[in-house]
């Protein structure tokens, strides 16, 4: 007989899901998922664009429910698909009220689905869009610490609204640089994985005032539901692990990360 999984904990504080991909979820209808999220105190959800193919999909999702917000941007995996038309679309749609950031942008040298040079060029172009639009950024960085820091340094004086290095798994040096520069670090179900001690070390080190909660759903489902499709309603498990690692109350985690999320994505 299989062991019954622990129920999702419910708290009194509101939660903002800062990074997921609603258009990739397949397990349940959107209205069912949103109802479940609301029942657990999830107040807002940011669904993330990743390619020229899903910019409009993300925008359409933001129009389907008041709690859904979005971003516009091209992930490093699809950097070779980035065109002038894509750039114009991102620029134009950043004026929409429900579009809160430029992202998901960045560098991924682990998979290297696009040449490193192309990734760097596309990242720089999108950072400039964020500068011009005065928008925060949602950054993906994997096995690219040195180049990421160099590029962010070039934009340090002009990128007024920082944003987040999402799903942070990089080294402590990049963490320190990003924290010093005023970025938040996003943490998800990875922090609950047995072999993710490096991520928990960064959580322990990072100020609670610069931590955001995310799931990256449908990926990276936290323990005890690892192996199943992820969803924003699993955020309480991430919050619990952060509280445990930092030795602070769950209420402090929820209140701080909520305020951090508002400041990063919803402040005027």
pLDDT tens digits, one per residue of 148-161: 999 999 999 999 99
- H or E segment at 128? helix 116-133
Q: May I ask the CATH architecture of the domain 15-266?
A: Alpha-Beta Barrel (3.20)
State mean pLDDT over 193-200: 98
**Segment 237-258 mean pLDDT:** 98
The answer to whether 126 and 92 have CB atoms below 8 angstroms apart is no
pLDDT at residue 1 greater than cutoff 50: no
Q: Which of 8, 3, 4, 2 is nearest to 189 (CA)?
A: 8
Q: What is the pLDDT of residues 65-121, one digit of tens each?
A: 999 999 999 999 999 999 999 999 999 999 999 999 999 999 999 999 999 999 999
Cα angle 8, 241, 196; round to 5: 120
Tell me the whole-structure pTM to 2 decimals. Answer: 0.97
Confidence band for 3, pLDDT divided at 50, 70 and 90: low
* Confidence class for position 214, pLDDT limits 50, 70, 90: very high
Contact 265, 24 (CB under 8 A): no
Whether the per-residue pLDDT at 8 is higher than 60: the answer is yes
Query: Do 166 and 238 touch, CB atoms closer than 8 A?
Result: no
Q: What is the mean pLDDT of the chain?
A: 97
Span 25-45, average pLDDT: 97
* 168: its two tokens: 């942070």
Residue 5: what pLDDT?
Answer: 84
Exposed e or buried b for every residue in 116-138, given b needs 16+ CB within 10 A?
Answer: eeebbebbebbbebbbebebbbb
């Amino acid at each position: 007989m299989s062991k019954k999984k622990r129920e999702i904990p419910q708290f009194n504080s509101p939660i903002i899901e800062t990074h997921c991909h609603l258009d990739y979820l397949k397990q349940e209808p959107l209205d069912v998922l949103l109802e479940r999220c609301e029942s657990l105190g999830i107040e807002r959800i940011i669904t993330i664009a990743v390619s020229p193919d899903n910019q409009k999909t993300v925008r359409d999702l933001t129009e389907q429910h008041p709690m859904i917000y979005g971003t516009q941007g091209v992930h490093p995996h699809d950097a070779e698909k980035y065109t002038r038309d894509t750039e114009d679309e991102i620029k134009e749609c950043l004026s929409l009220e429900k579009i809160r950031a430029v992202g998901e942008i960045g560098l991924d040298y682990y998979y290297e689905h696009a040449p490193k040079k192309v990734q760097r060029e596309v990242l720089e172009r999108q950072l400039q869009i964020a500068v011009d639009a005065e928008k925060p950024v949602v950054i993906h960085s994997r096995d690219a610490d040195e180049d990421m820091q160099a590029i962010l340094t070039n934009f340090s004086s002009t990128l007024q609204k920082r944003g987040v290095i999402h799903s942070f798994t990089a080294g402590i040096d990049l963490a320190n640089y990003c924290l010093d520069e005023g970025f938040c670090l996003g943490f998800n179900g990875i922090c609950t994985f047995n072999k993710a001690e490096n991520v928990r070390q960064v959580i322990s080190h990072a100020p609670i005032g610069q931590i955001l909660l995310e799931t990256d759903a449908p990926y990276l489902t936290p323990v005890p539901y690892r192996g199943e499709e992820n969803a924003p309603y699993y955020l309480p498990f991430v919050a619990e692990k952060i509280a445990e690692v930092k030795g602070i109350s769950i209420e402090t985690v929820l209140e701080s990360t909520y305020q951090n999320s508002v400041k990063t994505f919803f402040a005027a």
